[in-house]
Structure 1
Amino acid sequence: MVTKRTSVRAGSQESATASIRYEDDSVRSVEFEQLRRGSFDGSVPWRQVRSAKGHKHHPGEYASATTRGLVVYESRLELARLLLADFDPQVVGILAQPCRLRARVGGRWRLHVPDFLLVLGDGNVRVVNVKPADRLLDPEIAEALAWPGDLVEGHGWQYEIWSGADPVLLANVRFLAAYRRAGVVPDEDIAQAWEVVQDGDPLTVAERRLAAGRPVEDVRPAVLALVWSGRLSVDLSRPIDGDSVLRRAA
């Protein structure tokens, strides 16, 4: 969906800023043009996420393999985007609610807290806002999400408004996420699976060879841990099953 962009006023007496909260609860405001990835070192989410009985958005904390820590989210849709970010080999850092943006837009000052900031392995940064597709039909919401994009892209960073992904892809990533954390599967089992699995093996064939007479359930976690890590890949556009073809990373 294309949203109307409301340009951020340039050359105003007060420039756009990003306010960042740190672990000691101090807050530092940085002129946006001076903002760098390192500005977020030691930072914490701008808002505290609290869950309550009857809360419609289901907030929580996600144990990320990428950050090796907890990342907060405020809805199930945000959790879905977090899972995909954690699975993405290009993403090397994830920050939730990284800052509060302040900029002069349409003659008045506006505030906005992005949902996520993703640090990419090539050094780039992507700011992500998560919103259901039907909410983007509201012109006020579309405009409120558009001006931060002008600001972010004008800074040379990437900007994304995310409303969901293919349900089969999400279901597969949720399934694989059970094997994302170090120590869930012994390292020696993963190393053995990597030695045994051949490029082009269907999952059941690879499991039988690796099991060598043992129950395949004993060896399946090691194969799936390799898929989560990206060393093995499968077609995620269809449900993972015994016929899924495994491909070794180059």
Structure 2
Amino acid sequence: MSDTGSGSGTRDIDLVRVRYVDHEGTERLVRLEEAVRVPIEDGRTVRSIPSYRDQGHMPGRYWAATLGDFVEYESYLESKWLMLLDFDSDVISFATQPLEFDAVDGLGAWQHTPDVFARRRDGSVLLLDVKNPELRDEPKVQRQEERTLRACGRLGWDYAMVSEPDGQRWVNIDLLSSARRPLHLGEELAPRLLKLAHRPVAIGELLSFMQFPDLARGVLFHLMWFQKIVTDLDRPLRDSTMVKTAEGPRV
């Protein structure tokens, strides 16, 4: 991501502190460099998500298979990115409204609470801000993006400001998400589906081997959500779509 700021004040961050709330509910304020050792994903939100009549966005709660618990989100757009993180096999934990940067630079004091904190399997961090695409070109949004990017750079964290996810991939993952909860009915079908998909096979053909194809479809989608059976998710999912048991199933 390229630098968008034009003033030296945003290029040299003089002081950045991080405010977070630990898992016991205690608010803490640490120097930026100390935050790298904090398990932010285990803490509580640093601010409550407002919900009121006629507000311009739709807050709610997303049930995350990765966590086995609900995560609050501030908008429907944000919920899409929670689902994408939930599907990402490299992500082991994530949290919303996770921390606040409290900083001073050459342009003055600033505070910012990013939308999502994600911890990857290798210990690395991804911080996301989810923005309405209509607001992306506003100077204050670009300044916020630059400041947050530079703070994350000092921490060794990845940072991105995102808007709408890729259309077709999102549609497919949204479809598979309907089967992300633990299997109960049809659980016994999973081993046979995995065996039958050992070599590439069309979804329709795979389901034709099953006594109850509608039930088996839900089990197949569950296996695909957990990436035990894989396909090209950048193309529409149809009965003609080729799928195959993964070489290294998600753990």
Q: Which amino acid letter does the alignment assign opposite residue 207 of structure 2?
A: E
Q: What does residue 104 of structure 1 align with? A: 104
| TM-score in terms of structure 2 length | 0.90
**Are 1:8 and 1:147, in contact at CA under 8 Å, matched by a contact in 2?**
no
Q: Which amino acid letter does the alignment assign opposite residue 51 of structure 2?
A: S
1:81-113 CA deviation, whole Å, 9 max, x = no partner? 111111111111111111111111224121000
1:187-207 CA deviation, whole Å, 9 max, x = no partner? 433223212223210000111
| TM-score in terms of structure 1 length | 0.90
Unaligned runs of 5+ in 2: none
**Are 1:95 and 1:116, in contact at CA under 8 Å, matched by a contact in 2?**
yes
Shift of 1:35: 1.1
Q: Which amino acid letter does the alignment assign opposite residue 7 of structure 1?
A: R
CA distance in 1, matches of 2:197, 2:112: 48
1:232 aligns with 2:229: yes
Shift of 1:224: 0.9
**Are 2:61 and 2:72, in contact at CA under 8 Å, matched by a contact in 1?**
yes
CA distance in 1, matches of 2:160, 2:57: 21
CA distance in 1, matches of 2:237, 2:132: 27
**Are 1:94 and 1:117, in contact at CA under 8 Å, matched by a contact in 2?**
yes
Shift of 1:41: 5.9
CA distance in 2, matches of 1:86, 1:22: 22
| Number of residue pairs matched by the alignment | 243
Q: 1:1-150 maps to which residues of 2 (within 5 A)?
A: 2=2, 4-5=4-5, 6-10=10-14, 15-36=15-36, 38-40=38-40, 42-150=42-150
CA distance in 2, matches of 1:152, 1:36: 10
CA distance in 2, matches of 1:172, 1:78: 17
Q: 3-state SS of the aligned residue for 1:122?
A: coil
Q: Which amino acid letter does the alignment assign opposite residue 243 of structure 1?
A: S
Q: What does residue 243 of structure 2 align with? A: 246
Identity fraction in percent: 23
CA distance in 2, matches of 1:27, 1:139: 31
Q: 3-state SS of the aligned residue for 1:128?
A: strand
Shift of 1:52: 2.6
Unaligned runs of 5+ in 1: none
**Are 1:8 and 1:103, in contact at CA under 8 Å, matched by a contact in 2?**
no
CA distance in 2, matches of 1:96, 1:9: 25
Q: 3-state SS of the aligned residue for 2:168?
A: helix
Q: 3-state SS of the aligned residue for 1:179?
A: coil
CA distance in 2, matches of 1:200, 1:182: 25
Q: Which amino acid letter does the alignment assign opposite residue 128 of structure 2?
A: V
Q: 1:209-220 maps to which residues of 2 (within 5 A)?
A: 209=209, 211=210, 214-220=211-217
Shift of 1:248: 2.1
Shift of 1:4: 1.0
**Are 1:22 and 1:44, in contact at CA under 8 Å, matched by a contact in 2?**
yes
Q: 3-state SS of the aligned residue for 1:103?
A: strand
Q: 3-state SS of the aligned residue for 2:141?
A: helix
Q: What is the RMSD of the two structures over their aligned residues, measured on CA atoms?
A: 1.8
Q: 3-state SS of the aligned residue for 1:44?
A: coil
Q: 1:140-219 maps to which residues of 2 (within 5 A)?
A: 140-183=140-183, 186-209=186-209, 211=210, 214-219=211-216
CA distance in 1, matches of 2:207, 2:198: 11
CA distance in 1, matches of 2:178, 2:228: 16
Task: Mark the CA change 1:125 to 1:197 in structure 2 (over 3 Å): closer, same or farther.
Answer: same
**Are 2:197 and 2:229, in contact at CA under 8 Å, matched by a contact in 1?**
no
Shift of 1:23: 4.4
